[in-house]
Copies of this chain bind each other. A is one copy, B any other.
Amino acid sequence: MKIFLSQQNYHIGNFEANTAKILAAIKEAKQQGGDLIVFSELAVCGYPPRDFLEFEDFIQQCLAAIDMIKAEADTIGVLVGCPSRNPVAEGKDLFNSAYLLYEKEIKGIVNKTLLPTYDIFDEYRYFEPAYEWNILQFKGKRLAVTICEDIWNLGDNPLYRVCPMDMLMKQQPDIMINLSASPFDYVHTDGRKGIVKQNVAKYKLPMIYCNTTGSQTEIVFDGGSLVMDKDQNIVAELPYFKESLQSVTLHDDGSFAEPVIRQMADVPLVQMMPERFDPHLGTAAIYDALLLGIRDYFSKMGFAKAIVASSGGIDSAVVIALACHALGANNVRCLLMPSGFSTGHSVSDAEQLSKNLNTQYDIIHIEDIFQQYLKELKPVFKALPFSVAEENLQSRIRGGLVMALSNKFGSILLNTSNKSELATGYGTLYGDMAGGLGVLGDLYKMQIYALAKYINRDKEIIPINIITKAPSAELRPDQKDSDSLPEYDVLDPILYQYIERRQGPKEIVAMGNEETLVNRILKMVNMNEYKRNQFCPIIRISPKAFGIGRRIPIVGKYLS
């Protein structure tokens, strides 16, 4: 039996484009003599569709897409993810389902049992969990079809009380097939291989694992679909961060015709989040994820051009380099906005960066606008001393200027705030926190240094002075980040414990950190939730990003 895995990049709610992609893959697989083609979870509508699922009209469009796909599923079987209606009055009205289409009919529907409802996932918001389990019969094979999370309920403290593969094993399946929409983070990709391996080891069956790729606002799906034989050997591994169509041939004895790519039996299991912050972990994959995150945000929003406020600092330099690599240098425009507090090298470093990358740049000095504001504010501010009001005002003037260019030229402003700043509230709402997409909002400052070095791995794209100088917001004379914040090599590991590993103050102190410092940092994080709440979507590359996956009460009084 020749089985195709179709790893595609869908656009949420774009039924026309998604259906066309699915039909094209079916056509190709038929031409190559395929018996069965497998697509990913909720492929027809894209994942995650979120509250679009609450519109009856949206569900009708999903089902209309299934009708179109069914018409092409004649000699080939198609396994494709799509919502289905719950025929029972009790419970939510929808299931998250896999449809088996064959001979132009719906031959079977399998519903997802384990509905991830944590971090960025909200599936129980929409779907009823399955409570009956049946294999699907297809061309003499007994298929144990599951959807994403259904195969993840392993370990000593499982999240769910039921294990769907245990149930399906009662019906003696020949093969496991899993339709996934499993997102990237810098530990998850290895974790995923570990889970496939654990399932193969437990059930002694081969597994076809089909994932999606592409970025949906903040969530990057990295593909990497797999086929593993029952002896835990990988016989197919689809590429990461791009679309692919590949096939394997399953023999009647459960082995595959394809040669073994990698033996997994001796490879360690699920990689967990490291106990200690490691700024160098996964840099190359993070780079790929950010590129895809930028590229897909622009293409799915229907934009080509980006604008970036170029400060001469490392964060904007890395964003500009990423944007040029993702969108092409001719689509990236930089705006340099020195103030009276800017150092000379800020402008020259930023200019050098644009020259290295060959991007257009303009310089607008903010000093005269700033002075005009101060003049108008004088009757209100009177003789009150220079304070955070004036610091933020400069940042907001820059925000206003760069947004004016965004509006005038139809480009998206890429935001350059990093996770260390967002965590501690070291940024100005409507100023440097403005933008349509937070490129670096899930990278701590130390990770950005690692990424800058990776970008410079072959040649000096980011001027070395940008990497080596001390970080500064340049909003008052001789200002340094370290005036307000601990050094980043102290700050970042503490933030990592609190945000990624959800450790409390006692645990973080017990790891050897100074108690006053820990309490001060945690208080900064919790007090600044109101700022992050107004921040743009952040490309997620870690197991715990700010945004939809981290929901903290703004008025909450905890550790603050």
Please give the residue numbers on chain A whose beta carbons come within 8 Å of chain B beta carbons, in ascending order: 11-14, 17, 46, 48-52, 54-58, 60, 88-93, 117-118, 122, 124-125, 128, 131, 156-161, 216-217, 296-297, 300-301, 362, 364-366, 368-369, 372-373, 375-377, 379-381, 384, 387-390, 392-393, 396-397, 399-401, 403-405, 407-408, 429-430, 434, 436, 502, 504-507, 530, 533-537, 548, 550-559
Q: A429 CA to B131 CA in the complex, in Å?
A: 46
Q: For A380, what are the chain B residues with a Cβ–Cβ distance below 8 Å?
A: 362, 364, 405, 408
Q: CA separation between A436 and B50, bound complex, in Å?
A: 26
Given A297-B555, A548-B551; A502-B54 close (CB under 8 Å): yes
Q: How far is the CA of A129 from the CA of B158 in the complex (A)?
A: 15
Picked from B12, B131, B401, B558, the residue with its CB within 8 Å of the CB of A373 is B401
Q: Report if A12-B369 is in contact (Cβ < 8 Å); known contacts: A122-B122, A403-B430, A429-B403.
A: no
Contact call A551/B50, Cβ cutoff below 8 A: yes
Q: A559 contacts which chain B residues (CB < 8 A)? A: 57
Our pick among B14, B397, B504 for the contact of A557 (Cβ within 8 Å) is B14
- Nearest Cβ distance between residue A299 and chain B, in whole angstroms? 9
Q: How far is the CA of A404 from the CA of B13 in the complex (A)?
A: 41
Residues of B within 8 A of A397 (CB): 400
Would you give the shortest CB distance from A407 to chain B, in whole angstroms? 4
- A403 contacts which chain B residues (CB < 8 A)? 392-393, 396, 429-430
Q: A58-B504, A159-B91, A397-B400 are in contact. Are A300 and B368 (CB under 8 A)?
A: no
Report B-chain residues with C-beta under 8 Å of the C-beta of A535: 534
Whole-angstrom CA separation of A93 from B502 in the bound complex? 15
Chain B residues within 8 Å of A384, by CB: 408
| Chain B residues whose C-beta falls within 8 Å of the C-beta of A93 in the assembled complex | 157
- With A89-B157, A403-B429 known, 11 other A-B pairs at CB within 8 A are A11-B557, A51-B552, A52-B553, A52-B558, A54-B502, A387-B407, A396-B400, A397-B400, A403-B430, A430-B430, A534-B535
Whether A161 pairs with B90 at a CB distance below 8 angstroms is yes
- Give the residue among A89, A379, A396, A504 with the most B Cβ atoms within 10 A: A396
Complex alpha-carbon distance, A88 and B158, angstroms? 10
A159 adjacent to B92 (CB under 8 Å): yes
List the B side residues contacting A124 at CB < 8 Å.
117, 124
Q: How far, in angstroms, from A454 to B140 measured CA to CA in the complex?
A: 72
A296–B392 Cα gap in the complex (Å)? 27
Which residues of the other chain, B, contact A128 by a CB distance below 8 angstroms?
161
- Most chain B beta-carbon neighbours within 10 Å: one of A377, A404, A505: A404
Number of copies: 2
Contact A301 B555 (CB under 8 A): yes
Chain B residues near A46 (CB, 8 Å)?
553, 556
A379 to B156, CA, bound (A): 65
Give CA–CA (A117, B118) in the complex, Å. Answer: 12
Contact assessment for A158 and B368 in the assembled complex, using a CB-CB cutoff below 8 Å: no
Structural contact, A555 and B389, CB atoms closer than 8 A: no
Q: Which residue of B lies closest to A375 (CB)?
A: B368
The reply to whether A369 and B373 contact each other, CB–CB distance below 8 Å, is: yes
Tell me the minimal C-beta distance from A444 to chain B in angstroms.
19
Q: Which residue of B lies closest to A131 (CB)?
A: B161
A558 / chain B contacts, CB cutoff of 8 Å: 12-14, 52, 58
Chain B proximity of A285: nearest CB distance (Å) = 22
Nearest Cβ distance between residue A532 and chain B, in whole angstroms?
11
Chain B positions within 8 Å of A379 at CB level: 362, 364
Do residues B534 and A536 form an inter-chain contact, with CB atoms below 8 A?
A: yes
Please indicate the chain B residues that have their CB under 8 angstroms from the CB of A381 in the complex: 404, 408
Inter-subunit contact A504/B56 (CB<8 Å):
yes
Cβ 8 A contact of A55, one of B376, B502, B548: B502
* With A54-B502, A506-B57, A537-B533 as contacts: A160 and B91 at CB distance below 8 Å: yes
> Nearest chain B CB to A60's CB is how many angstroms away?
8
Given contacts A373-B400, A400-B397, A534-B536, contact A300 B407 (CB under 8 A): no
Cα of A131 to Cα of B504 in the assembled complex, Å: 31
Do residues B372 and A388 form an inter-chain contact, with CB atoms below 8 A? Answer: no
